[in-house]
Structure 1
Amino acid sequence: MSTIKLKDGVEIFYKDWGTGQPIVFHHGWPLSSEDWDAQLFFFLERGYRVIAHDRRGHGRSTQTPYGHDMDTYASDVYELVKALDLKDAIHVGHSTGGGEVIRYANKFGKGLISKAVLISAVPPVMVKSEANPDGVDISVFDDIRNNTANHRSQFYFDLTVPFYGYNREGAKVSSGIQHNWWRQGMMGSIKAHYDCIKVFSETDFTEDLKNVDIPVLIMHGDDDQIVPYANSAVKAAKLVKNGTLITYPGFPHGMPTTEHETINKDLLEWIKK
């Protein structure tokens, strides 16, 4: 197992395979680097150096009760990037990981990051407010908090259904995918997962999106039942200076797994541009 010890003593687990231009993958809540299996294998086979880490409190990283905020997550990534001496890196984030990517790019990534990819990602901001009237009501996130705190095991398994669009007519349900999602979630810390709900729902990435100059690819399914497309991808694409939006009709939130052949092909094509 490969780990680095951060300045606050937290150990971050990571995978680092291959050579060539580095691609760093940032996972979503409440998962781990394993959620990128289809991408790690695909890009490794095509000559890239692929890196994926378990966010603090998630997967095999330290189950610390502290530091569960987006600035700390982005700082952790910076420490990992410096430790591995990554230059000209492409950073790819799914869901919460997309927020982590754009915060890292804005606060720490200048000169270190060449491109950013946001897949089914939470920016600009999820929660409904006066400034974001078409956002998701806070009661939805309160319900996620309640279920995480009190019914985590069953809730995580149930959540795989909308996550992968398995409640849609004609969906091909994979129990293996469902159990792998559940396995990843249950490996992490309940405290970290609980605190991260506020992070992914209430963090405002508007200024991060406005400030980055690098090319940004935004990939989102229009049937995403977890991070609504119109409140995220459409708005984010309007805020970035150098953005490309690819919309996938009918694709679910977990499309990097269920639709990995399409996602990997489009991602590779954009990277090579």
Structure 2
Amino acid sequence: MKLIGPVTYKTILVLFGLYVVFGALTQCASFSMTEKKLKKEFKDAPLQPQLLTYEVDGRTMGYAQIGDINKPMIVFVHGSPGSWNAYIDYFKDTSLTNHACLVSVDRPGYGSSGAGEAEPSMQAQAAMIAPILATSKSSQKPVLVGHSLGGPIIARMAMDFPTAMSALVFLAPSIDPAMEKKEYYRHFLKLGAVQAILPPEMVASNLELMPLKGELDKMMPLWQNIRVPCTIMHGKKDMLVPYGNVPFYEKMLTNVPKKEVVTFENENHFIPWTQYDSVKKKLLEYVR
């Protein structure tokens, strides 16, 4: 059978079938949380989150915020796909909100930040998220937290705006271009017929992941710009973003006052939820 890269036509047909089923199941789904559901989630909570927006480069960006703006700010950046409410459990945790103002963004192409309107450039995404940092009224600069694809985005923010934050926390980040393998099926997912059955956030995810290796290559000479304390938390059984990103982190961060590695021997990719207590403990260390 003829090959397209390493992918056969049979494989493409199987993928198409899977995505038809996936689309049928998810076309009514949304990665965003409605205000009605949000109110229900926080019905008995002592604090209520705000859903806020701002304009940058002709686009509307949305984010959620909870807690006292005068306290140190923690900014969460989700992976691909995702939305701000990936971190909703952190928003409900008073042991965090007693010490910090929590912000979680909808990255470009997701939720209230133009669902489906992908922005493949790491530099552009960093610039679009950066205005949030200036809203903090604390004397301490914000701590940035990035999971998966959120990892290279907070790295790019620290490269381009090196004095705008106080620390970086990487959770299973995809930062090493050598770890990014060609995924030929993503070209198939660009077909209009396939995109038509997918949620807009899934379309955005595909469009930003296709050029990711090239975007990470562009960042290679910029790692020396990062000058704040950093922590990486990664599981050795991560099948989505290899643990091999950890040695890259250790090698590339040459000008930081601290580069900490937290390894979970039996953990997968979903550290923000499966290692919640460990992540929370680390965040509290950075804001207390």
Same fold (TM over 0.5): yes
Aligned residues: 228
Secondary structure at 2:238 match in 1:
coil
Contact residue 239 and residue 268 of structure 2 kept, 8 A: yes
- 1:265, CA displacement in angstroms? 2.6
Change (3 A) 1:211 1:251: same
Q: What CA distance in whole angstroms lies between the structure 2 residues aligned with 1:145 and 1:263? A: 35
- 1:78, CA displacement in angstroms? 1.6
Contact residue 94 and residue 118 of structure 1 kept, 8 A: yes
Contact residue 76 and residue 145 of structure 2 kept, 8 A: yes
Is 1:233 matched with 2:246?
yes
- 1:272, CA displacement in angstroms? 5.5
Change (3 A) 1:85 1:69: farther
Is 1:25 matched with 2:76?
yes
Change (3 A) 1:58 1:65: closer
What letter is aligned with 2:63? Answer: Y
Larger radius of gyration: 2
Q: What CA distance in whole angstroms lies between the structure 2 residues aligned with 1:85 and 1:153? A: 43
The share of aligned pairs that are identical, in percent, is 22
Change (3 A) 1:210 1:32: same
What letter is aligned with 2:181? Answer: D
Is 1:105 matched with 2:158?
yes
Q: What CA distance in whole angstroms lies between the structure 1 residues aligned with 2:243 and 2:196? A: 27
Q: What CA distance in whole angstroms lies between the structure 2 residues aligned with 1:264 and 1:60? A: 26
Contact residue 162 and residue 227 of structure 2 kept, 8 A: no
Partner of 2:103: 51
Partner of 2:235: 221
The within-5 A match list for 1:1-40 is 1-6=51-56, 8-19=57-68, 20-40=71-91
> Which stretch has the larger CA shift, 193-202 or 78-87?
78-87
The alignment yields a C-alpha RMSD, in angstroms, of 2.7
Q: What CA distance in whole angstroms lies between the structure 1 residues aligned with 2:277 and 2:237? A: 18
Among 135, 145, 156, the residue aligned to 1:92: 145
Secondary structure at 1:72 match in 2:
helix
- TM-score, normalised to structure 2, is 0.70
What letter is aligned with 1:196? Answer: E
Is 1:202 matched with 2:202?
no
Partner of 1:137: 181
Secondary structure at 1:71 match in 2:
helix
Change (3 A) 1:145 1:60: farther
Give the number of the structure with larger relative contact order, counting CA–CA contacts within 8 Å between residues 6 or more apart. 1
Secondary structure at 2:107 match in 1:
coil
Q: What CA distance in whole angstroms lies between the structure 1 residues aligned with 2:155 and 2:272? A: 19
